[in-house]
A = this chain, B = another copy of it.
């Protein structure tokens, strides 16, 4: 079993004098960075900072090699067929928008349907609202149950021959629910729809095999898996990338430019216009190496077990209500709750006074708020450096808060 205290010692932020008692429970928002990631960035900027794909000089070739080797590493990490399937973006949000612009606007017409779920993050919802508006397609929602799971009982109602795209979150960032995406992908393919999976939360702790899943697109962010900010990935099947129009255009994504017209570079470069986020991609490589060295299955096992502990302890707090996480549900790492009728922002403020960092708000999932008829929740989300003591600190501070406020 993974030892969170040992792991914690690898994260410089926790040894900063102001953070020695920091309990960081906002991991679904962004994660802390291990020493190897910070050092890799340093190393790039201090030894071989240069633009990629162009310079015929030592540091330029080194930068290109490191940058491209991360593409290979990621392809391996998610079991993609080739590094050609890997497009670098600035984050999940851009990855999804890329598909909304380059694939959806080209392939959708009035009468077509896009199917999403009520538990999507705004980043996997608003792009489809806009794409639907602009193409005349209709947006439909798979509802969620009171238990915080997808209600698939009426799936045929939503998934039919008009459905051209299904865009679903692999793991909810508010409820922690892991959706049965394999099943949905297969059913979607049966009716000829493409499937995009928002993996921003799932990939941070669980092992992924896009080839087996057979999804058409998979999007995720580096900063939520210990990588730098400003980098994300879009995985897509090769034929789709080849058919799609470019998204951003400019330097590096062209084969040739004349005054009249341009021709596009090969995939994945067709989708990477301008100077890429070189340092961030290289830093993400170090984060994935750290995950691989730690072992993704060990990470998953640890987080799942810590989540169970946390739920049990939280349920002992008077007036605390957890959303989702029903006894039979497949959910982990993210726990949303409310504490009696105390406003979540007040709760978060009191926790902060004990140096416990959680999030309060709608977590970019307003449709879920609507469903539960609330305007916000407190969210504690766990990662590999969280310890059982962190959970105790959280529970203790919640108890103090409810005593003070009532």
Binding site for B on A (CB under 8 A): 12-13, 16, 18-19, 22, 26, 29-30, 32-33, 37-38, 41-42, 45-51, 54-60, 90-94, 96-97, 100-101, 118, 121-127, 129-130, 139, 141, 221, 223, 228-231, 246, 248-254, 256-259, 261-262, 273-280, 345, 348-349, 351-352, 355-361, 364, 366-367, 370
A188 to chain B, nearest CB (A): 20
Judge whether A94 and B278 touch: CB under 8 Å. no
Judge whether B279 and A228 touch: CB under 8 Å. yes
Judge whether B26 and A357 touch: CB under 8 Å. no
A327 to chain B, nearest CB (A): 29
Task: Provide 29 A-B residue pairs closer than 8 Å at the C-beta atoms, listed in order of the A residue.
Answer: A12-B45, A13-B46, A13-B47, A13-B49, A18-B58, A19-B47, A26-B55, A38-B42, A41-B41, A54-B359, A54-B361, A56-B352, A57-B351, A57-B356, A59-B357, A90-B230, A90-B277, A92-B274, A93-B274, A94-B274, A123-B250, A126-B262, A130-B249, A141-B259, A228-B279, A230-B278, A230-B279, A250-B364, A257-B366
A212 to chain B, nearest CB (A): 28
Choose among B47, B60, B248, B367 the residue that contacts A18 (Cβ–Cβ < 8 A).
B47
Contact A33 to B49, CB < 8 A, known contacts A248-B97, A367-B257: yes
Judge whether B229 and A275 touch: CB under 8 Å. yes
Taking chain A's interface residues, is the majority helix, strand, or loop, or is none over half, making it mixed? mixed
Judge whether B96 and A250 touch: CB under 8 Å. yes
**A126 contacts across to B, CB distance below 8 A:** 249-250, 253-254, 257, 262, 273
